Amino acid sequence: MSETVGFIGLGAMGGPMAGNLVKAGFEVRVYNRTASKAEALVAQGARRVSLATEAVRPGGLLVTMLADDAALEAVAGEDSGMAEQLGFGGVHLSMSTVSPKTARHLAELHARAGAAYVAGPVFGRPDAAAAAKLWICLSGPREAKARVQPLLKAMGQGSFDFGEDAGAANVAKLAGNFLLAAAIESMAEALAMAERNGVDKGAVAEMLGRTLFACPVYQNYGRAIAQQNFQPAGFRLALGLKDLKLALETARTAGASMPVGELVRGRLEHAVVKGRADWDWAALALGAFEGE
């Protein structure tokens, strides 16, 4: 029989990820602050619990997929009792995009309770989560990473191991999200230039996505920018701003410079002021078209 897995955080990403664990045969205990978000999973066979700590068994497995550092700290930080509930041999697989500092702090907290913290932030939007096609960055204790492999296989198409430093996977994830945002900004500037010169921006986006930049990022985001299709959001702009701020903080802490990151953060902040926080983060491209 497969292990029991606690899953906390049933949003646009967490819901389908937990659903894939149910499909894979795990006994899944689910918790979400808004309890109604668990209903579809209960219908699939998951068990809903009323407290976060009730999602895990001593020595068991916990997966969290939460919006930010504060939400993760609330569920698994010093005052939550979660590390103690996991106890000796327990493993917490944190798949949220958070700061490396938070990951390292929680790793220490878990270790004091005899549990292990594994960072596993993901690349992919809700459709990829539903299709179990996520790419997963991984870091943490070797034995704990081995134990969560069946979970990773149920939720993703592959993982990349960045060693035992709990913060390393989050550094890699923030690097990737920075590059995504920078690509969106670059595409926006190029397509705005084309449009101002009377050239169809959709045709330019299609050409670039089939030739020089023949990859999903340029193809999908290029199409969205050209069509200005930013709703509904696959990844909310407010969360993109959160990630850019984390990337810049991580760079500053290490003495690295990210001038492009500063520019993109400005675009995202301006978009929030414009009321676009809940739009897809590709809407940062509108700054280039609006000449702001």
Q: Tokens for 242?
A: 């959160």
Decide if 82 contacts 64 (C-beta within 8 A). no
Annotated catalytic residues are 173
CA gap 21, 63 in Å, rounded:
10
- Give the DSSP letter of residue 38: G
Distances (CA, A) of 91 to 57, 60, 117, 133, 167: 10, 6, 6, 23, 16
> What are the residues whose beta carbons fall under 8 Å from the beta carbon of 95, sequence distance 6 or more?
17, 63, 64, 65, 120, 121, 122, 136
Residue with tokens 């550094």: 171
The amino acid that residue 24 corresponds to is A
Residue with tokens 């913060």: 167
Count of C-beta atoms within a 10 Å radius of residue 263 = 14
Q: At what angle do helices 259-273 and 168-196 cross, to 10 degrees?
A: 70
Decide if 34 contacts 66 (C-beta within 8 A). no
CA gap 111, 166 in Å, rounded:
11
